[in-house]
Structures are given as C-alpha cells and as structure tokens.
Amino acid sequence: MKFVSLLCLVFIFLFASCSGKIEPRTQTAMDTLCTVNAFEDGTKKLYDEIFERLAQIEKEFSATLPDSEISRINSMAGISAVKTNEEVLNVLDFALKTAWISDGAFTPAAGPLVDLWGINTDHQKIPSQAQINNALELVDFGCVGLSRDSVFLRKAGMKINLGGIVKGFAADEVCKILKMHGVKKAVVDLGGNIYVYGKKSDGSKWTVGIKNPESPSSAPLLRLCINENSVVTSGSYERYFESNGKRYHHIFDPATGFPADSGIVSATVISPSSIAADALSTATFVLGVEKSFKLLDKFKKEFGSDISFVFVCKYGSVFASADLKGSLEFVQDDSRKIVFVP
Ligand code: ADP
Ligand code: MG
C-alpha cells in the first residue's frame, strides 16, 4: 500500500515537472500585494519574468525610492529639466491628458499633498491650513513640462506622484507579457487593480467582486460578470487614519487639499486599458457622480475607449453604466436597486 502511494507521488511529481505548471504567484511589488494566476500556462519562468517587470516598474515610478526616475525628476524641480526614458514620458503624458480632461481632479503633480498628509506613514497628520495652502501652490500640473526626452517641473518644491496610475500601467504591461507567451487565460491582481485576461475554459464570463466599502474584508457588495477587461477601484477604505471620529484617506481633492469628499466612497472603472481605468477611478472618486458622468463622456470621445463604471455612494446608493445591466448585481439578495445610467 505504502509502495502504491509512493508510486502515485512519483507520478504526480513527474507529471507536474513535465507540464511545468506551478501554483499562482503572490509577491509584494509597488508597495502592495500582487498575485498573478496564469492557470495551466503558469510556469516559474513566466512568473519570474512578470515579477521582474513589476520590480523594474517600481524602480522607475516609485515616489519614495531615492533613485527612481520620478525622484530624480522631483529633485531637480525649479532647477532644470531631467532626461528620462520613453516609458516614463508616455505614462506622464497620459497622466497630464487625464489631468486636463478632469480639470485637475486627477493630477500627476499631487506629490506635495501626498507627502504633507503622509497617510499610512509614521508621520501621518492633519496639516494646518497654511501648510495645505503652500502645498496647493505646488500641485500645478500646468507647470509640468514634457519635451521629447525630458521632464521639467517649473516650480521648486513640485513633486510628481504617479501612485494613482502606475498599477494600471503595470497591469497593462503584465498583459503584454501574457500575450507574448501565448497564455490563454489569467487573473492579474495588483493590490486590487484587477485584469481578467482571455477566456475561461467553459466559455463563461469572469466574476469580479466589488468590495463593500462599509466592510471591505467581508463578502463583496456587488458581483460583476465580464469578458476580458480591467476592473479598478478607488476607495476611501484602503489607506486612511482616523482622528476625532473622522476618517482621513489617501485620495486628495486638488481643489481643497483635503481628502476628497465627493459623496462617492468607491469608484470602479472597467476598461480594456488598465491605465485608463486606474486614472479614471481616482478622478471620478474626486469628482463625484454628476461631474464624473461628464468626464467619462469626454474621455470616451477623446480616446475612443470602452469605459464602464460602478459608483457606490455614501448612503449606499449604487450608480452604474447602462451597459452593465444584466452583468452587475448585489451579492446578497438585497432590496436595494442599482441605478443604471444611460
Ligand atoms: P490605490 O492606489 O489605493 O489603488 P488610487 O489609484 O486612487 O488608489 O491612487 C491613490 C494614490 O494616488 C494616492 O496614494 C496618491 O499617491 C495618489 N493621489 C492622491 N490623490 C490624487 C489625485 N487627486 N490625483 C492623482 N493622484 C492622486
Ligand atoms: Mg487610480
């Protein structure tokens, strides 16, 4: 009997090593937990390549690593232009376009506010109004100058921070690697920035949960069934601190310098372009429901992209784009209705 089980084990081992398939990989990258599951096409080589790419993206785009491209650009603010690579220029260019189109609700120049509030760091605090006013002077995307090969921040003290867009960019880059290797299906989760890639074997749609902002660690609030797509959520429940019973979270309204309080507590954007979904989830979270409808219309016209949305608001109402009718429902049989917006 023992011999039979040993033989089975040997067979399983041989089979596993022949097919090369291994378990999905979870690792920290870009300051967050990332998981990639390429199912039957998952190999050590594939996962190594993906996580090396994520580490490289972090090294370029981090606002805290002193040698990153972003830190080099920030250190020369008000002094001189800094030569950088095409990848950084492209992401910055996209961030600036989103800034123009969202009237600055999304801004690549949010660095001074991010650093001042220090959410989730050892120096998080509610700043004084004078400090906020000083930071706001520097949150000025019109003073980010891009040329063919360099970036110049025109005011001393300005700081680029691409935390609101880089995971989306990274998810798109992971998909390029999956495509290059002929992977048939995969789920990419970069700290909640999701990409469902390819088709499931039984032909059914992918199911993605949208967290309950009131209770993010329990069952999801909504279930979304979709084909290949990226699903990105910005919420006030991920990174925050509380003082005198009030929550101060990590997405800032550049109009006030305070954590955004637009009425939206969770903004999900769905698009085949994860960089677009990431930028727009942050922008819509800042803008609130009404202004976001206009922003998304403008964005679709400008970029011709496929964009859907799900907004969960403060008192529990849920607004979603009409194209999600039949694909979006409450997980628990809920008497609440989703308002689908044409
Ligand atoms: P998360 O990173 O938690 O998934 P977001 O994509 O919305 O959420 O990005 C939030 C991050 O973006 C912040 O931690 C900060 O680095 C940066 N940020 C904060 N406010 C803004 C803003 N108004 N525009 C652009 N980036 C912002
Ligand atoms: Mg974002």
* pLDDT for 5: 44
pTM over 0.85: yes
> How much distance in Å is there from the Cα of 168 to the middle of ligand 2?
7
3-class DSSP assignment, residue 258: coil
* pLDDT for 175: 98
Query: Burial level of 245, CB count in 10 A (0-12/13-18/19+)?
Result: exposed
* pLDDT for 21: 62
Q: Is the pLDDT of residue 152 over 60?
A: yes
Helical packing angle, 274-287 and 86-101, nearest 10°: 30
Binding-site annotation, residues for Mg(2+): 164, 278, 282
Over residues 106-123, the pLDDT tens digits come to 999 999 999 999 999 999
Q: Is the pLDDT of residue 12 over 80?
A: no
> How much distance in Å is there from the Cα of 166 to the middle of ligand 1?
10
Over residues 154-169, the pLDDT tens digits come to 999 999 999 999 999 9
> How much distance in Å is there from the Cα of 182 to the middle of ligand 2?
28
Over residues 276-319, the pLDDT tens digits come to 999 999 999 999 999 999 999 999 998 888 899 999 999 899 99
Over residues 317-328, the pLDDT tens digits come to 999 999 999 999
- CB–CB of 284/107 below 8 Å? no
Please determine, looking at this structure, whether the domain spanning 10-37+187-341 carries the CATH number 3.40.50.1100: no
* pLDDT for 191: 95
What's the CA gap between 316 and 265, in Å, rounded?
Answer: 9
Residue 56 host element (H or E): helix 44-61
119 CA: nearest ligand 1 atom: 14
Residue nearest to atom 26 of ligand 1 (CA): 164
Over residues 227-277, the pLDDT tens digits come to 999 999 999 998 999 999 999 999 999 999 999 999 999 999 999 999 999
Strands, E assignment, 204-252 = 206-210, 222-226, 229-235, 240-243, 246-249
Residue nearest to atom 8 of ligand 1 (CA): 234
Other Cβ atoms less than 10 A from the Cβ of 42: the count is 20
Q: In b/e form, how buried is each residue of 314-332, taking b as 16+ CB within 10 angstroms? A: eeeebbbbeebeebbebee
Residue 314 host element (H or E): none
Residue 69 host element (H or E): helix 69-75
* pLDDT for 22: 82
252 ligand 1 Cβ < 6 A = yes
Average pLDDT in the 124-136 region? 97
Through-space distance between the first and last CA atoms of the chain, rounded to whole angstroms: 65
The closest ligand to the CA of 278 turns out to be 2
